[in-house]
Structure 1
């Protein structure tokens, strides 16, 4: 190639592969960076909580947050279904209907939140007794966070489906990340466990404010499409929440207070392998849905996210295994030295479950229920196994690992979208059920 001004040869600059310079790749990078920042902030929250509280008090925080995470996953089921249907509407140019759908789901969710709050308040005496909590206020503040968090996830679903990944990234990095430790320190110093959970409440309120739609974004008399069928997503992500968090609840009930706190700190280290690449699954769901609506292949984006998930988990597990035992004591304090031997095996188990999470997102986008049933059965099997065998931290890790590996093996045998089979060949095209263009609005029904 020569320069037309002087004839001198001009060297072409090397170009990055298109897959790395696309809008999807840039969105994924922004989400990944903000998600990692958020996870660092969330991780710091637990580290500071472990430092500020005793192991027994930290076990209370971990039990409440584990229970809330399980409760959040049905809400993320609504989020996933809303994101999928919103992305389908956006792909067909029905932007106003996509926004109207988000508002309609938020109204329904508000009714559910009110009902859940009432049930949790009534259950206070039983919850305090079963979880052996220090006071009723621990449960009540945790319940407030749980209910507000449900609304936060639904708000994320609407923005996710409309591919407003900047807003999603801001929430992941701030209210669901670095704001938590910022609020934690003063509140925990004043009110202990109640203050630590109060920090979650305060951060969630900020997140809801960030996601709130401005009035100018609300068109009048917009046709509202049918509400998403959330049953499959509820089952899938509710079961996944159980797979990744029921170990903390079982540990709190079956282990001694100090041993439960040690397991919770090890789980915190190991679950970096689960939460690190989780933002990529948020990106994958609307992308796969939009590509299916357009009749395009989903093989490349799905494989990229799966590979990134496995790589991230492998790096985390290796880093923990190669780190000195002083890692845990340096982070959490000398009282948590016994947790070190559990962290790397937990990271392996969480890497397997992170890959299950990616497969769930692809299945939800394809409206395929086979894997959903497998995950539901796996959650039941894990719960039964933990109750029967979870008398020690090592057995808890073993049961979770076996269940995760079995789930992936079954998916490989039953679906062309398993990691190995997807890498070998392009699956046959299969379009989801189309979303109706127009239906009567809520006002005229």
Structure 2
């Protein structure tokens, strides 16, 4: 017992969070794998749709989280209290608004995505406000670098969803999509447990100035724009495939996407550490480029390893993870992993520049995200073509991000030279 305590003391909060994040991603992955194995390709398409809709809506949740992260570093004292309470009010308002819209249009959503029931969207809409409030909590912990509490909220959400969903599938005589929607909603309740919203005062005596509010809204707007482009890039293919193909093919594609996105899930752990680190270094006047290069190398090496593994043994990977019924998709596995890897590396560049208040990469991602949607809309004769157009779009996106990085460095170097020459004169 003593030796365990000594080991834990040597582990930094950042390392502890990384360990926790690996466990959470593993648990979420297991959740999807078990659903795929138990339900089969047809029913799994509806389950994957709910998970994808959650990821789609996460562009607002992540906006709240990243904005809270940034200003938790920048603000302190009464200004921080005013900002924090403002974010909780915004989260509650947008959460209720989007939840009501999802419930009102549940029948239309059923028709668009060819699901078995509209009730799954009603249950999903009821859970949305909890998700947004949970996102503000996470941003608070992330910005203040309280990685233990941040890890706890991810752990409680993941474990509750994993356990409650499969217990309910075993015990309750409901359609699987309804059970999965219930599990997602209940997991948000558990995700609030580490802190709840007791630290939020919706009618606070502290208020942000007009200048501070403008600064907050500019960041929220730009971050929401970027998060939306990420969601479009990372999830539009599943939604479009669900619309254009039958449930069997949509289920096969969902399994392909889940396996191929391993690198993206792991890359996200590094992004969670990247943003507060870069913001703090910029605030302290320290160089930030070494941080970016370190994370790019890590994600690049990880991506290459996964793509190679998917190309050498696709049948083995698919059989182990989902079963033989999903083998028809094996030939596309390494190609999808390549598309996801290209996106993951370009994502590191984009979040780095977003941390430094440079927003051209947001525009680049938006343009390429929309181009991917248009390409899939017009070129979807089979699943292979859907994957090929994504590789093309992600190659262009990564190339554009790298060009901007070098152009930005060249501009910064020129400014430094000018400043030196001005001082000498």
Q: TM-score, length-normalised on structure 1?
A: 0.83
Deviation of residue 250 (structure 1)?
A: 0.8
> Is this contact kept in 2: 1:38–1:174, CA < 8 A?
no
Greater Cα offset, 55-64 or 378-387: 55-64
Q: 1:98 aligns with which of 71, 80, 84?
A: 80
Q: 1:262 aligns with which of 252, 257, 262?
A: 252
Give yes or no for the alignment of 1:126 onto 2:97.
Answer: no
Residues 357-414 of structure 1: per-residue CA shift (max 9 Å, x gap): 2222212211111111101101110110010112321111111111111111112222
Alignment of 1:21-420 (within 5 A): 26-89=12-75, 94-175=76-157, 177-189=158-170, 190=172, 191=174, 192-212=176-196, 214=198, 221-222=205-206, 224=208, 226-227=212-213, 228-229=216-217, 230-323=220-313, 325-416=315-406
> Is this contact kept in 2: 1:263–1:342, CA < 8 A?
no
> Is this contact kept in 2: 1:273–1:351, CA < 8 A?
yes
> Is this contact kept in 1: 2:47–2:180, CA < 8 A?
yes
Helix, strand or coil at the partner of 1:276: helix
Residues 104-159 of structure 1: per-residue CA shift (max 9 Å, x gap): 10112101111111111110111111111101112212323444323222221121
Partners of 2:92 and 2:192 in 1: CA distance = 13
Deviation of residue 204 (structure 1)?
A: 1.5
How many residue pairs match? The answer is 397
> Is this contact kept in 2: 1:188–1:194, CA < 8 A?
no
Helix, strand or coil at the partner of 1:212: coil
Helix, strand or coil at the partner of 1:54: helix
Residues 60-96 of structure 1: per-residue CA shift (max 9 Å, x gap): 111222122111113212321221122122xxxx245
Aligned to 1:442: none
Q: TM-score, length-normalised on structure 2?
A: 0.86
Partners of 1:356 and 1:427 in 2: CA distance = 25
**Shift in CA distance, 235/87, structure 1 to aligned 2, threshold 3 Å:** same
- Say what the alpha-carbon RMSD is for the aligned residues: 2.6
> Is this contact kept in 1: 2:350–2:401, CA < 8 A?
no
> Is this contact kept in 2: 1:86–1:98, CA < 8 A?
yes
Aligned to 1:13: none
Helix, strand or coil at the partner of 1:98: helix
Deviation of residue 347 (structure 1)?
A: 1.5
**Shift in CA distance, 122/213, structure 1 to aligned 2, threshold 3 Å:** closer
Partners of 2:78 and 2:343 in 1: CA distance = 36
